[in-house]
Structure formats: structure tokens, C-alpha cells
Amino acid sequence: TTGYTTLDPGFVNTASTKSAITYIDGEAGILRYRGYPIEQLAEHSTFIEVSYLLIYGELPTAEQLEAFTDKIRRHTLLHEDLKRFFDGFPRNAHPMPVLSSAINALSAYYQDSLNPDDPEQVELSTIRLLAKLPTIAAYAYKKSVGQPFLYPDNSLNLVENFLRMTFGFPAEPYEVDPEISKALDMLLILHADHEQNCSTSTVRLVGSSDANLFTSISGGINALWGPLHGGANQAVLEMLEGIRERGDTVEDFVKKVKNKEDGVKLMGFGHRVYRNYDPRAAIVKKAADTILAKLGGDDELLEIAKALEEAALTDEYFIARKLYPNVDFYTGLIYRAMGFPTRMFTVLFAMGRLPGWIAHWREMHNDAALKIGRPRQIYTGYTERDYKELTTR
């Protein structure tokens, strides 16, 4: 009854089948940005340097890094009318729709950088996004807590500026905690790119119609919000808190997951590509103990998380399905210890993923053979049939 016998070559979405940006070996648990192992970048690099690497393909020289940092620094402010944009949202809005709407609104405020075929405009929109997303993210948080917005302070670096705009007050000076800034910088590096994941494929598909960079990134933010994707870091914390509040034992909870009771999943576990430990999760777990000890994290929830991991890694159900912790399993505990509310966790994921999204959008546009993404389908509906008059139905 289907209309298909073989898959049409157009079935494969041509907007995202080749890329030189990120390499993943799911079986071996390998992740490399432009050839550099994630473990080395997490240890030695900075988020702004990794952003440069992903977007331009090489680690920057000192001059290139300074010029890149300076360009970004000069675009951290939002248009004053865009600041008022936040007044239209209810106080209890989740920050992700605020973020994706405000990022899309950049297409309205910065109409001089929308043309994907003009390299200068692509560069300008790239810099504007890298500079303004942290400001918008901080304002989305301030709106949710009813506190005044702070203007960026460009004597600080990108991450410090974000922390100050998020947690600072106009009434008093705000000292950025170097431990928090360093830990957040490393987490942003870990999230910076991940090949053709759901949100990156969305950015590429939207961009393949020649839609501008701002609106393509907004599409990626929407895809990321889903709890099966970037929204998982929020779902992990809600899962851990639920276990604690109900007084579940880890064994009880794992049993519920295995019986698929009410569709419950072990959030932060499993991955379409990794059939081994997600290398990012290993780095976060290793850092979690030290960072939480320094910042005073919620040890109880960390212990529940570790007990869940231990139970799952020795249980046939998870072993047979090659389910391991992914990047979202431990990150929320650190974000919480930094002072972020759970609903901001996926916003932090988006901030980290931004340079990857931009790199993929630019790579796709630099591909002369680019064609609009047009996935095909396997038709499973009715074969042809004749119209029935209303009186005969």
C-alpha cells in the first residue's frame, strides 16, 4: 500500500551530509573539534578560543584571538528597543522561548547583516550573535526574577561578563568568582559542538533555504529545548529531586525505568551515537567532585546520581542497550552549585552550542554545491481513491 519501492536519493537531507568540523566515534567514545581531542581542549583552551577554532577551522594566533575578542567585546550591548522586548514576556516564562524569540528578533534590529551571500554580513552576524546571546540569556534570567538588567562591562571576558549580568546588582559591585568562571568556561567548551545532532541539523536545514543566520540559530534553540535533547539537563535535576522527595531507593527507580512505568527514562543516559561513555560526561564527572566541593554543591543529589550511574552500568537492561551517561547527566549539578535555577540549564547549553551552530551554518553556505534540504519520506497512506459526496459518507 506504500507509494515507495526504493528510497529516492533525495531522501538524504543534502544540507547536512558532509562536514569537517567535529568528529565523533560513538563506539570508542571519541570527540574531536577540528581534529583536537575534547579532553585537551577542556584542559588547555578557553571557550572563546574554541569558538574561533570551530568557526574558522584553526586555533587562533595571539593577534587573531585578541582581534576576535575585541570585536565581540564591542557588540555585547543590545539595541535599547530590544531591551524593552523583554517587557512583553510574562515573569514566569521559561527562558528558552525568550532566548529563541530575542535571537530571532535580531533579524529585525540588525537588518544590515542578514544576507548569507555577503561574507561581511555573515561575519557581522557571527560576531553579533557570539556577543549578544550571553547578554540576552542574562536578561532572560533577570526578567524571570524581576531584577534590573545590568549593562555589559567590557573590562570582563565573555563568561565573566555573562556571570556579572546574571548575578550582579546595580546597587553593589559584583566580584566574579574565578572558580565559577573557569568551571563554566570549561562546560561551555564541552557543549560547543557535536556534529549533526538534532538542533545543529535544524540550523543547517533552516539555513539551507538561505534564511539568515539569526533566524537559523533561533530554530536550533527551539529544537534544543526538547527534553530528549538539550532540555535533558533540566530533566536530570528534576529526576534526581523527584527521587529524593519521594524517598525512592535507587533500586526502585531503576526498576520503574526498566518497566517503562509511565514512560519514565533515566534522563541524562543514552545517546544515538555514543554506544560507550560520552567523553564529555567523563570530563564533567571528574570535575564535578572538585567543583562541587569548592562551590558547595548538593552532595545528596550528587550521591543519588552516582548511585544511579553505578546501578545502571552493572544492569543488563542498560548494558544490552549500550546506555551510558551523556553530557547532561552531571552538568546540572554543577550549574545548580553555581547558582543557576534549573530552567536556565538549557540556556547554558545553547550558549555553549552557539559557536558550533554558527560553524555548521557557515560551512554549509560555503559549500558551492549547497542545495536546499528536502528530506523525502516513505509514504504509508492510502493509494488513490475517489471523492465521496457528503450525502454518501
Q: Number of residues in contact with ligand SDX, rule: CB under 6 A?
A: 21
Rounded CA gap, 269 and 267, in Å? 5
> Which single residue brings its beta carbon nearest to ligand SDX?
270
Helix (H, G, I), strand (E, B) or coil at 169: strand
Catalytic-role residue among 185, 193, 278, 328: 328
Catalytic-role residue among 191, 194, 271, 365: 271
Residue list 317-376, contact with ligand SDX (CB under 6 A): 321, 323, 326-328
Minimum CB separation of residue 335 from ligand SDX in Å reads 15
Minimum CB separation of residue 330 from ligand SDX in Å reads 12
> Could you give the C-alpha distances from 107 to 114, 240, 380, in angstroms and in order?
7, 39, 39
Q: Phi/psi class of residue 242: alpha, beta or left (left: φ > 0; alpha: ψ in -120 to 50)?
A: alpha
Our answer to whether residue 79 is catalytic in this structure is no
Q: Are 19 and 363 in contact (CB under 8 A)?
A: yes
- Which of 7, 28, 67, 228 binds ligand SDX (CB under 6 A)? It is 228
Cβ distance to ligand SDX smaller for residue 133 or 257: 257
Helical H segments across the chain, by residue range:
38-44, 47-56, 62-73, 80-85, 95-109, 119-145, 158-167, 178-191, 198-207, 213-224, 232-246, 250-258, 279-295, 299-313, 316-320, 328-338, 345-366
Minimum CB separation of residue 265 from ligand SDX in Å reads 4
Judged by CB under 6 A, does residue 32 bind ligand SDX? Answer: no
Judged by CB under 6 A, does residue 229 bind ligand SDX? Answer: yes
Neighbours of 211 (CB within 10 A): 18
Retrieve residue 23's grid coordinates: 568528529
Rounded CA gap, 181 and 177, in Å? 6
> Could you give the C-alpha distances from 253 to 4, 82, 118, 311, in angstroms and in order?
43, 45, 54, 10
Judged by CB under 6 A, does residue 189 bind ligand SDX? Answer: no
Region near ligand SDX per CB under 6 A, out of 32-40, 164-172, 225-233, 287-295: 225-233
Binding characters for ligand SDX, 196-215, by CB under 6 A (x = yes): -x------------------
Rounded CA gap, 72 and 259, in Å? 50
- Which of 116, 134, 220, 268 binds ligand SDX (CB under 6 A)? It is 268
Our answer to whether residue 271 is catalytic in this structure is yes
Helix (H, G, I), strand (E, B) or coil at 340: coil
Cβ distance to ligand SDX smaller for residue 360 or 365: 360
What are the catalytic residues? 271, 328
The binding site for ligand SDX (CB under 6 A) comprises 194, 197, 228-230, 232, 257, 265-273, 321, 323, 326-328
